[in-house]
Amino acid sequence: MSVAPAKGEGRPMKVTVVGGGIAGLTCAVSLHAAGFEPRVFEAARTVEAVGVGINLLPHAVRELYELGLDGALESVALPPHRLSYRDRTGEVVWEEPLGRAAGYHWPQYSVHRGRLQMLLLAAVRERLGPDAVRTGLLFQGFEQTPGGVRAHFLDRSSGLPVVDDAEVLVGADGIDSAVRAQLFPHEGPSKGNGVHMWRGVAPHPQVLDGLSIVVAGGTPGAKFVAYPIEGPATGAGDALVNWVLEVRHGPSAPPPGGPGRRVTAAEARAGLSSWELPWIDLARLAEHSSAIYEYPMLDRDPLPRWSFGRVTLLGDAAHPMFPMGMNGGSQSIVDTRVLAWCLAQEDDPVAALSRYDRMRRPTVNAIVLANRNLGPEEIIARAEEHGGAPPAGWAERIATRYKRLGRATVGQVNSDSSWTVRTIAADRE
């Protein structure tokens, strides 16, 4: 890959990345590929393969492929080829093809979040060195100077302060971002809609054709989702199925036991008992899940700006959204590529971060608001109200309108030029 040297004083620009999740690690790989010197600081003492399933849409997969992660990604993920919306009895409401089956040049992928994170961690350490990700360092704050930004951390093992100086600081530390909190000290907590998600992963015989994402039900709080994230070891074996059951505790009721509480198998069986989906054994899912956890569905109001001088936000720190349309993680990956591209185009990091802000924030803010109105899952909500499958063309219009918000239609993704930083780069602003 031919890349332009990083702008600066004859050396790679140093970038502090706060947060070692999917967004932060992808950011490090993207910045390194563009010629910069990122360092990742993570509060957890170790980075572990935890979590459940995540979907990566073709516009995000394209970016990971261009970072040279195609082979690694193909080894840990499955490419679903169909999205199937169904009612509470399991009958089809509407279906659409996904990934290459829909005409994209890149697949869509379903993958275990922990395996994706470990893949990215390995890439960062291989390309940037074993010390590029530092763990156990809790972000405390930053201050800007005319020539850079200084970040302060607390070493959780020693209790000692740690200081890092760089030209740019990126907050990629999630929905409860401490970087965002310093930029917007009066924002307050994240917002919920009263819906809570019971999430699990279990071995199960292949659902439908084995490469489908199924979303059944209607409105939020009355929905069930299932899709495979790992194929069977043999043709007759079990797949690893990610599943989500939405429940509603009321708009102001906190989840009993707090966010991330463990749901018992008996409780899960009871919650799933009102569903009759003939193509999946719901009781088996409850019994065979290694752990089932409950999380509230949360987002935050769109921000009026992400970038302040040499500091900016990306991923869930910038735009946490309700999980409609499988877009949160995918948009975070695109953030990282646009950020690296902008830094490579400008001599002034402040101008680069402002440019990134202008290019990404309006698009993703629109998706956050669309997800509050159900995003593409408006299809099953309105079908439930209608009492059956929607009129011809109606569901496709909803799905296409949503894709256009994020420049993610087949035509947009296949025809857009690359964000890869090359010797001569075209301006895509």
Q: Judge if 79 and 157 occupy the same domain.
A: yes
Model pTM? 0.93
pLDDT for the residue 428: 45
Domain boundary among 284, 299, 314: 299
- Token pair in block for residue 344: 């490579």
The count of domains in the chain is 2
Q: Judge if 233 and 247 occupy the same domain.
A: yes
Residue ranges making up the domain that contains 322: 14-83+112-189+301-378+407-415
Instruction: Report if residue 57 sits inside a domain.
Output: yes
Domain boundary among 299, 320, 339: 299
pLDDT for the residue 392: 74
Q: Judge if 214 and 356 occupy the same domain.
A: no
273 burial type by CB count under 10 A (0-12 exposed, 13-18 middle, 19+ buried): exposed
pLDDT for the residue 3: 42
pLDDT for the residue 390: 76
pLDDT for the residue 423: 47
pLDDT for the residue 396: 94
Instruction: Report if residue 39 sits inside a domain.
Output: yes
**What CATH number is associated with residue 288?**
3.30.9.30
Instruction: Report if residue 422 sits inside a domain.
Output: no
Average pLDDT for runs of 10 along the chain of length 429: 45 95 98 98 88 94 98 96 95 96 98 96 97 97 95 97 98 97 96 93 93 94 95 78 88 56 94 94 95 94 98 98 94 98 97 98 97 95 83 90 96 96 53
Residues forming beta bridges with residue 112, ordered by sequence position: 53
pLDDT for the residue 10: 64
